[in-house]
A = this chain, B = another copy of it.
Amino acid sequence: MKKFLNDPKQFVPEFLEGIELASGGALKYEPKYNLIYRADMPSDDKVTIIQGSGSGHEPAHTMIVGKGMLDGACPGDVFAGPPVDFVVETAKLLNSKKGVLQIVNNYTGDRTAWEMGRELCEAEGMKIDTLLVNDDVAVKDSTWTVGRRGVAGNFFVIKAVGAAAEKGAELDELVTLGKKVIANVRTMGIALTSCTPPTRGTPLFEIADDEMEVGIGIHGEPGRQRTKLVSANEIVDILLDAIVPDLPFKAGDEVALMVNGLGGTPISELYLLYGIAHKKLAAKGIKVFRSYVGEYCTSLEMAGAHISLLKVDEEIKEMLLAPADIAYRVF
């Protein structure tokens, strides 16, 4: 295992502390709940938006906390959903009279914690609702889920409802908007290498030098099939042939096109995939409204990529273009 690491058990708290220190006072860190939250936590004028899946998917979700995105994120350990008390205490600490919106990626561990947490919050009289993200078309059920998994499309859900919340939207309006984004986003990915959780110390799975995993999960869980590695052109075909007919995306549609790196793939390769996907979509009459190329939801140091397509309308476009201010920035 070759990582920048002290005690593997302190990996999550140490990088979370780094996020707080790097924020220049914009973010606070509460170690008891692995919680990163806005220091300028808004008052009761704004619905609070929270998330917390496993760690190991950074920048999701602790690095996209800030104005116009999440108000707080409370991940569990690497590839482990947060305990129920993280969920409850986060909601209580960041509670707003306008309500709390949980955005949950569809994994059994995450759902259990967030559903139980929601019940406990409701029992205390809190106003709380939930969005369930399930954009991954690779598998119907998986080793980690009943139903489709939530992956990189989660970013679009947070960006849209985060922007709407800043504009003063009510909880029910955010749920309606979030469900629209979820209904219109589809994702699938391919892995070229495995990854190694710090406390485990060995790769999650083995994959041969000439193989790829089609429809990979973000915890190394299997996808559709293990095949020989093929060219980038063929890989984009495999992904778009799964994604495009699923909605379906049709000629005349406008989309946001994301190429998400899984952690170990250089951004040059992501742009190479982007160019191919953009041209193949144009040939189908599907127009890219805006591009997203980089790391949005990773799997530690895994080499691989997702392609995500989000069909946009005027409302979604406005929310995607709205300003935001998060730790995950270039300058």
Contacts and interface: CB of A to CB of B under 8 A. Distances in A.
B278 A22 contact: yes
A268 B330 CA distance: 15
B293 A22 contact: yes
Q: Copy number of this protein in the oligomer? A: 2
> Chain A: interface residue count, which band?
35 or more
A245 to B, nearest CB: 23
A315 interface: no
Contacts of A193: 2
Interface stretch (A40-48, A117-125, A146-154, A228-236): A228-236
15 contacts: A4-B269, A14-B232, A14-B272, A19-B271, A21-B274, A22-B293, A58-B268, A58-B271, A59-B267, A263-B266, A264-B301, A266-B298, A294-B328, A294-B330, A330-B330
A235 B274 CA distance: 35
A35 interface: no
A200 interface: no
A266 B24 CA distance: 22
Contacts of A276: 14, 18
Interface string A284-304: 000010111111001011010
Interface of A: 2-6, 11, 14-24, 55-56, 58-59, 63, 159, 192-193, 209, 212, 229, 231-233, 235, 263-276, 278-279, 288, 290-295, 298, 300-301, 303, 305, 320, 324, 326-331
A268 B59 CA distance: 8
Given A11-B272, A271-B22, A5 B279 contact: no
Nearest to A10: B272
A274 B18 contact: yes
